[in-house]
Amino acid sequence: MKETVPAHLAYHTESPCAAVRGWGLLTGWGRGLSSLPPSVHSAARGQRILPVATPPLASERLRRATRECLLGIAAVEAALDHGEMSHAEVAGSRTALVFASASAYAAANWTFLTGGTETALHFPYTAPSAVPGEVTIQFGITGPYLTLLSGANAGIEALWQAVTLLTTAQCDRAIVLGVETFQDCAELYAAGRWLLGTPLTEVAACLILERHASLAGVRYGAARGEGRRRPAPTQSRQSGLRRLVQDEPVPTLAQVYLCAPTTPAGQRAAQDLHGHWPGVALALVHERCGICLACSPLIALMLAITAGLPGDVLLLSQWWDAWSMLRWPLHK
């Protein structure tokens, strides 16, 4: 029997990963996936923060925009170029914007607390809206809009919210944007260095998703450890991960991408996963790009598509004892 694809999902069925129209990536290593080094720690040479170059956007309207805003706009522009799309294609009410970050608003808050400024741009409660606000104005986007600030897991949750908007026909395309910056409040991260690994890599990453039947197969999950407020012991932290993946079918799983905030956390989780799934291929995203928090899952999806993997990919992200998971089907 021929399967009938709902009209609101029938987009670009000829592409190997038709739901992803294009992507843009700017990091402290350079522009695009090809700039990522084979060995992060060797390439970093002890540098704790890898800043990304501020895009030189010549615009009177953007002369007071923050670095994070300029990076967000440049990442969307790069994604449009990669997807061979015009500004007109994303303008209007049928394009959604989902913004994710764990750190991009920290610089504005830090300025507010230490710089004696009271401008609206640097007010803590408005800072998280600055990046998506400038992006929607720049590209004329008037569709659904979400901001997710749930630590490093925000990237996975942003992808899932974008998929939900698309599969429920609330939009025709969704721009998933992540921005993580560190250099403007380096003292803050130096003080909390036990929370995050190094190198901290500044990133602006963007994926443009469009409606497609394969999105019906995307699955999201979340779990916690023992629910303690303080950092839990290793066993406690990994129990949330085991609960999250215990029912995941393995045969069609081509690759697992693990996004962790520190190298030890990633290594512990990798050991736990290898014990649960001995034969599954596992990649630690921080070994490819450094610590880039909510942008890590976005980069992982780009890497998976570029690798041409034959089955599903599983994106896993950790923030304290909270775990997020997204299973994404890749079709040949």
The CATH code of the domain at 217-329 is 3.40.47.10
DSSP annotation string for 293-331:
GGGHHHHHHHHHHHHT-SSEEEEEEEETTEEEEEEEE--
The pLDDT, as a whole number, for residue 228 is 46
The domain ranges of the chain are 7-214, 217-329
For residue 205, list its beta bridge partners: 25, 178
The pLDDT, as a whole number, for residue 116 is 60
The contacts of residue 228 (CB under 8 Å, 6+ apart) are 236, 321
**Which residue, among 105, 156, 160, has the nearest Cα to 128 in the 3D structure?**
105
Quote the DSSP letter at residue 265.
H
The pLDDT, as a whole number, for residue 129 is 87
pTM: 0.89
**Which residue, among 214, 224, 167, has the nearest Cα to 330 in the 3D structure?**
214
DSSP annotation string for 9-24:
G---TTSTTTTEEEEE
The CATH code of the domain at 7-214 is 3.40.47.10
CA 128 to chain CA centroid, nearest Å: 16
CA–CA separation, 126 and 118 (whole Å) = 12
CA–CA separation, 149 and 302 (whole Å) = 21
Q: For residue 130, what are the CA distances in angstroms to 140, 166, 177, 210, 296?
A: 15, 24, 13, 25, 21
Rounded (10°) angle between helices 127-139 and 67-82: 40
The pLDDT, as a whole number, for residue 7 is 36
**Which residue, among 101, 79, 257, 104, has the nearest Cα to 173 in the 3D structure?**
79
The pLDDT, as a whole number, for residue 119 is 52
Neighbours of 155 (CB within 10 A): 35
Q: Do domains 7-214 and 217-329 have the same CATH topology?
A: yes
The pLDDT, as a whole number, for residue 193 is 66
The pLDDT, as a whole number, for residue 8 is 34
Rounded (10°) angle between helices 296-307 and 154-167: 70
**Mean pLDDT split into 10-residue runs, the chain, 332 residues:** 34 58 97 95 94 85 85 97 97 98 80 62 68 95 95 95 98 97 85 82 98 95 69 54 88 93 92 89 95 97 92 94 94 59
The contacts of residue 102 (CB under 8 Å, 6+ apart) are 149, 150, 151, 152, 154, 180, 293, 294, 319
